[in-house]
Chains A and B, each alone.
Chain A
Amino acid sequence: MGATIAKLAERPNLWPWLLLTPLAIYLAIFFLVPLVNVAIMSVTEPRLTLANYERVLVGALYQRVFLNTFLTAGLVTLACLLVAYPLAYLMNHSSQRTAMMILLLVTMSFWTSFLVRTYAWMVLLGNNGPIIAFIKAIGIEIPPQLLFTRFSSTLAMVHILAPYMIMNIYSVMRKIDPVLIRSAESLGARGFALFRHVYLPLTAPGIANGCVLVFVICLGFYVTPVLLGSPREQMIAGLIGTQIEEFLAFGMGSAMAMVLLAVTLAILAIYHRRFGLDKLWG
């Protein structure tokens, strides 16, 4: 046994293939085949036709849902950035202990199931929840509707995805050499100039990483928009779910899924050429 392995180890060409084969076969059957299946269904259900794609790409409803999905994903990404950057900056400029506490909180949020967090926002934003109670307490008699609106689903998605952005930005920010900052300050860089010429370029990779990650995850988000959003502002994943679950319209559902997949992969491909895909989730 030992001798065989040793022998194999000497032949560098066979060994890696042997180690890779089980996983390759597995992914081929249980990852690629289902995906190909979606592609096939999109042109064969209910019969051999491209009509599903025509409807998805030309139909006013589907265009609107796609547009809404992109807008929401963009909004969530921007909001995550606005939330994450100051926090990362604060962590970088606090004592190690404070930074550690904040990191612990962010990590905790990251690890907490997003269903739990979605539910929590339902409690927070509901008509009997603390936020409405606060609004009433400061004298506004007819509080705004928060739950089941675009606002509630967007807010919850920002909360769910913010840790990705924070981790990404913080990890590049803490590598910035303090000497660099001090010398920039000694040269007269203050406030926005310091940010514009020192922080921004140095943290750009983290920002790019975080934005791509948040945007791509948000594009395919199902649970939170379905539970907290309004059916009038559906995102594409929710609509795919309705097509499959309510109408058993596998053709339409698959065609939408393929368009979503194409968009996602296109974004990731651009990222891959520029940075390398393995960096994204690292």
Chain B
Amino acid sequence: MDRFLRLIGFLVIIFIAAPLVIVVPISFSNARSLQFPPPGYWLGYYQAYFSDTDWLRPTFNSILIATATTVLTMVLVVPATFALVRHRFYGKSVADLMMLMPLAVPHIVMAVGYYSFLGNLRLVHTHMGVVLAHACLSVPIAFLVLSANLKGFDRNLERAAQSLGASPVQTFIHVTLPILRPGLFISALFAFIQSFDETVVAIFISGRDAETLPRKMFDSIRQEADPVIAVISTLLFAAVLLALLTPLAWSSIRKRLRKRPPAAAFSGG
């Protein structure tokens, strides 16, 4: 039984890993087509990506749009989360539910809605239009992360600060904010990634001037399977890998340097 499960688990691991790994050699391939194994290796498609404005512009648009989306999302979500987590009021359960609704609606439905709604506002094909749409989709994600953090927040720390004479504003800036910083960062990061990866709404509304990277990739995969996609895939994959491994490496280095027992290192988290 156990051996059988192990075998299945092993196959599942290959199933999950194979597509992640395959794009790397393909990105160095010198073939025009999707050939595996590649007939030869070169860096030509990397060069093509970094010198082609048709690829760089969407990349840049995506970074810009995701950044603006993150800022807008956080400005809206942070106060709302405080209201929903720390206060009891009439209609709270409805408000809670409303926060999650954008996550419940299929993106294709929103895409149809935005396509005509933003069209009426003359905001189709603009950065502003994409940001306004993406922020809606990022709200529930940022809210979920932040509210989980805020619920775990020990309010005695704030009470202690206030009993020592700090004003509510001082307490907020010097006590609440620093403790919540990781939660805020994670929630902003989720909002950023949500926007950066969002494809369906962007396909319908981002157009010529605000074309995002996922839209460009979608078009390219659909039309010609340009090998540059493998390059971008590899770069995106490398970014994820780096983002996940850096903290692991960092904490193990720190552990070794300080020689503290691991339990103590995380007791504050």
| Contacts from A to B (Cβ < 8 Å) | 1-2, 5-6, 9, 12-13, 15-20, 22-24, 26-27, 30-31, 33-35, 37-38, 41, 83-84, 86-87, 89-90, 93, 102, 104-109, 111-124, 126, 128-130, 133, 159, 162-163, 191, 216, 219-220, 222-223, 226-227, 237, 240-241, 244-245, 250, 253-254, 257-258, 260-261, 264-265, 268, 272, 277-278, 281-282
Are A220's CB and B109's CB within 8 A?
Answer: yes
| Residues in A neighbouring B222, C-beta threshold 8 A | 226-227
User: Is B250 an interface residue, CB under 8 A from the partner?
Assistant: no
A192 to B22, CA, bound (A): 37
Are B5's CB and A90's CB within 8 A?
Answer: yes
Binds A, one of B53-61, B174-182, B237-245, B253-261: B237-245
| Residues in B neighbouring A237, C-beta threshold 8 A | 106, 108, 200
> Which listed residue (A34, A120, A219, A268) contacts B20, Cβ 8 A?
A120
Are B89's CB and A13's CB within 8 A?
Answer: yes
Are A119's CB and B221's CB within 8 A?
Answer: yes
Nearest CB of A to B255, in Å: 14
User: Is B267 an interface residue, CB under 8 A from the partner?
Assistant: no
> Which listed residue (B22, B114, B214) contacts A130, Cβ 8 A?
B22
Are A220's CB and B34's CB within 8 A?
Answer: no
Q: Which residue of A lies closest to B12 (CB)?
A: A87
| Residues in B neighbouring A264, C-beta threshold 8 A | 104-106
Nearest CB of B to A177, in Å: 20
Q: Which residue of B lies closest to A241 (CB)?
A: B108
User: Is B264 an interface residue, CB under 8 A from the partner?
Assistant: no
Q: A23-B139, A108-B244, A261-B106 are in contact. Are A35 and B113 (CB under 8 A)?
A: yes
A145 to B89, CA, bound (A): 59
Are B240's CB and A112's CB within 8 A?
Answer: yes
Nearest CB of B to A232, in Å: 17
A277 to B96, CA, bound (A): 9
> Which listed residue (A17, A34, A222) contacts B117, Cβ 8 A?
A34
Are B18's CB and A124's CB within 8 A?
Answer: yes
Are B87's CB and A16's CB within 8 A?
Answer: yes
Are A83's CB and B15's CB within 8 A?
Answer: yes
Are B36's CB and A129's CB within 8 A?
Answer: yes
| Residues in B neighbouring A106, C-beta threshold 8 A | 16
Q: A9-B168, A244-B204 are in contact. Are A31 and B102 (CB under 8 A)?
A: yes
Q: A16-B84, A260-B109, A264-B106 are in contact. Are A83 and B12 (CB under 8 A)?
A: yes
Are B167's CB and A2's CB within 8 A?
Answer: yes
A12 to B87, CA, bound (A): 7
Are A19's CB and B107's CB within 8 A?
Answer: no
A237 to B203, CA, bound (A): 13
Are A130's CB and B36's CB within 8 A?
Answer: yes
Q: A119-B229, A119-B230 are in contact. Are A281 and B144 (CB under 8 A)?
A: yes
